[in-house]
Structure 1
């Protein structure tokens, strides 16, 4: 299944099927003015990467695989620690340090909703390294038509 991010226009597709078929680290599936939907695939033993989004709330849902989610107020204080699997949801409040690690033997397939929009519309990043490179180069910036905080703070990465 191929999803095309058409921007802030009405869209409908089989989200579970798209999530399970996504082999990319991150695929931005839909970008609105206020929120964004991305699909992710995390290989066994890998993780999303410890990070915090100062002004972005995030919702994640696993549609396949097993993981460990850790969250907390500081990168060295991850006092929330929970194993998650297919069907589980993870809510990450803005400013919370968080990571999801694949502890299973198959890729974690998940989708995540960001509010406000967090990534470039339609961007596809095959690997975590591609995502990091795009962020460093400025290629992964929210679209100009999305509503962003007046003075956006940069993400933090461990």
Structure 2
């Protein structure tokens, strides 16, 4: 991979190439004042993790693989269920519980755009377990954050 999160300054890179080459569960590619771009690689039978961003809309796009996108008003009521493949996007409204599971036979490569930031600029998590154990993954102090409603993870 050849990108480095440069913070809120101007940046450009080949998003599809970097997404396809990303070996990590999560790589923060760019952190702006109001949004953030992360690259993800989800192993076969893995998932991004059931979660809810109370005050954040999210855009997810698959560049390789096959997934199952689920969303709903509670973690026990996922009323949206859609198979997604290369080129598909998933639009996650703020306050929706959501997950994307790899149902294919190869790693699922995707990128996601959060508005606002959700992770420490430049953060790399090799695996989902490493991400879950990370206690130093807060958005930058200079980013604009919503009110006090916290994200939730199942």
Matches within 5 A, 1:77-116: 77-116=77-116
Q: Cα RMSD (Å) of the superposition?
A: 0.7
140, 145, 148: which one aligns with 1:148: 145
Distance 1:26 1:142 in 2: 15
Q: How many residues are treated as equivalent by the alignment?
A: 154
Distance 2:112 2:149 in 1: 20
Please report the TM-score for the alignment, with normalisation by the length of structure 2. 0.98
Residue 7 of structure 2 corresponds to residue 7 of structure 1: yes
Distance 1:21 1:49 in 2: 21
Distance 1:55 1:132 in 2: 21
Distance 1:94 1:130 in 2: 25
Q: Give the deviation of 1:154 after TM superposition.
A: 1.7
Q: Which runs of 5+ in 2 are unaligned?
A: none
Counterpart residue number, 1:157: 153
Distance 1:3 1:40 in 2: 14
Distance 1:70 1:116 in 2: 22
Matches within 5 A, 1:1-158: 1-134=1-134, 137=135, 139-149=136-146, 151-158=147-154
Secondary structure at 1:101 match in 2: strand
Deviation digits for residues 63-90 of structure 1 (CA, Å, limit 9, x no counterpart): 0000000000000110000000000000
Distance 1:46 1:98 in 2: 14
Moved runs in structure 1, 4+ residues, more than 4 A?
A: none
Secondary structure at 1:30 match in 2: strand
Q: Give the deviation of 1:2 after TM superposition.
A: 1.9
